[in-house]
Amino acid sequence: MSDLKSIVRQAGQILQNHDEIGKMPHVLKWWQAAKWREMPGQAAADAELAGDTILLYPRLAGNPRGSETVLREFGETLYKQMSDIDKRHWEKKHSLPTAQQIDAFNSKINASNPKITTYKELVDTFSTAVDRLVALNLANALLANGVSFGSVHGIDVRSYGATSAYANLKRYHSLLPLTSAYADRLFNAYYGAAFAALIVNDLKNVRESSVAAALRRLIIGLADRAR
């Protein structure tokens, strides 16, 4: 069973070395307080959270991703510490647009470009998935309030009523359509799996860079509030 203890120690070192989460004293405190139990026999999982204890099974010793497995279950213990509001943020994959994304949309609707004659054409000029999501949300809000593309010139989305809350970073959008497309199902469903993927490989398994960046902010922000 000593191999299992070695995997836990290795996972702890990886956690402490992370450039952001590894600097959060309360997360390290939760790690130090975590309860581990080595179990005899086989089970469907290599490790699993049961109540407030992480159970470690013999097959974990042969898992080449053992540290990530351990960190996944620890991530689930952090999830249990979160408020119901923060759990809902994770379930809905809530994220805020960035000021740069708002500026880019504002600039484009107020620029003269004869090649762009519809909101769809404007949205298609954005190069990343999250940039297009932000642009689509703003365009839909304008359309829903009767602002045709032909009359949008001169509008500032930060001060226009229908878009002001979102454009001033006070209303979330959901990343769920994007995480469903670009992230593995387990990762999309469980905070612990996403937490471990961030710690171990900086979300390299998310197949679109802007989605990975937005998820990184969400995972880290939730970890910071799991006190």
DSSP state of 153: T
Tell me which residue of 187, 195, 201, 183 sits closest to 220, measured CA to CA.
195
What H or E segment, with its residue span, contains residue 11? helix 2-17
- Mean pLDDT throughout 198-210? 95
Q: Per residue, what are the HEC states of 171-219?
A: CCEECHHHHHHHCCHHHHHCHHHHHHHHHHHCCCCCCCHHHHHHHHHHH
Predicted model pTM: 0.91
pLDDT of 117-150, one tens digit each?
999 999 999 999 999 999 999 999 999 999 999 9
Give the pLDDT band of residue 3 (cuts 50, 70, 90).
Answer: confident
Contact (CB, 8 A) for 193 and 75: yes
pLDDT of 47-93, one tens digit each?
999 999 999 999 999 999 999 999 999 999 999 999 999 999 999 99
